[in-house]
Amino acid sequence: MTTTDNRVQLEKKGPLAVIRLNRPEARNALSPEMVAELGAAIKSCRGADTRAVLLTGTDGAFCSGADVRNFTQELDDGGPEGLSDHLRELADALHRDVVMGIRRLDKPVVAAINGVAAGAGFSLALACDIRVASSDARFLLAYANIGCTADGGSTYMLPRIVGQGRAMEIYLARQPIGAQYALELGLVSQVFEAPHFERHAMETADRLAQGPTRAYGRVKALFDGSWDADLATQLDAETEAIASVGLTRDFQEGIKAFSQKRQAWFQGS
């Protein structure tokens, strides 16, 4: 299955959905049409038949951010007001359909960063649950290079991953971050050598697709909700979640497998 015009490719491999950004001539930069297609691809992963998602790019790039050439055209055609309207519409679609789409998926989403992740591409990676990188991946917040503020949820996600001071430094420095330093910062959880990267990234996502999907989804929601909850509220949420997951077949299979000293066989239900 592939989305319209092939800007975003969606392939279902059993319970694993693989989404590939596919504008190699622009290093997978995000145009308004591409944001819409990416949002649609994410929405199509909501069904129970998909148990994990792998998000990556084609041709040696993850995503180089928004397509600045569109900004130039909007400025030429509509002046500053036209450009401002364009930025508002693009950010709104990116936030509503892509970032929140990823966060609201009740299953793990793996960002496989196979090259440059700049600007909104960096933000897109941060929105995912797990990030793995190729040894030749590069991260650049990039916005300050064009006198722009950051979007795509990066001002929320990045301070929570690396701390507020380091997040501000990354924005101000305007310098690319290599894969190994990204690993040290906690931006990614694993780095794989480039020739073997896609295989390892796919294996990582496929293992998640074979896991206890309902439990994964509930823990994802618990982690996201914890930032705005006090301890008592979070403990209540954990109680409700564990009581709910007790009704799932995966949990029942898990405790049977534990008692029988065998590998659990999860079905995502």
Positions marked active-site: 95, 151
Radius of gyration of the chain (CA): 19
Burial of 39-57, coded b for 16+ CB within 10 Å and e otherwise, reads bebbeebeeeebbbbbbbb
Nearest-5° Cα angle at 111, 249 to 200: 80
Q: What angle do CA 100, 103, 107 make, to 5 degrees?
A: 140
| φ, ψ dihedrals at 33, nearest 5° | -65, -40
| Amino acid found at 220 | K
* Nearest C-alpha neighbor of 151 from the set 56, 42, 66, 37: 66
| CA pair distance 67, 232, nearest whole angstrom | 45
Taking residue 101's Cβ as centre, other Cβ atoms within 10 Å add up to 21
**Both structure tokens of 162:** 């690396």
Give the separation between CA 21 and CA 30, rounded to whole angstroms: 9
Give the integer Cα–Cα distance in Å for 237 and 217: 13
Amino acid in position 212: P
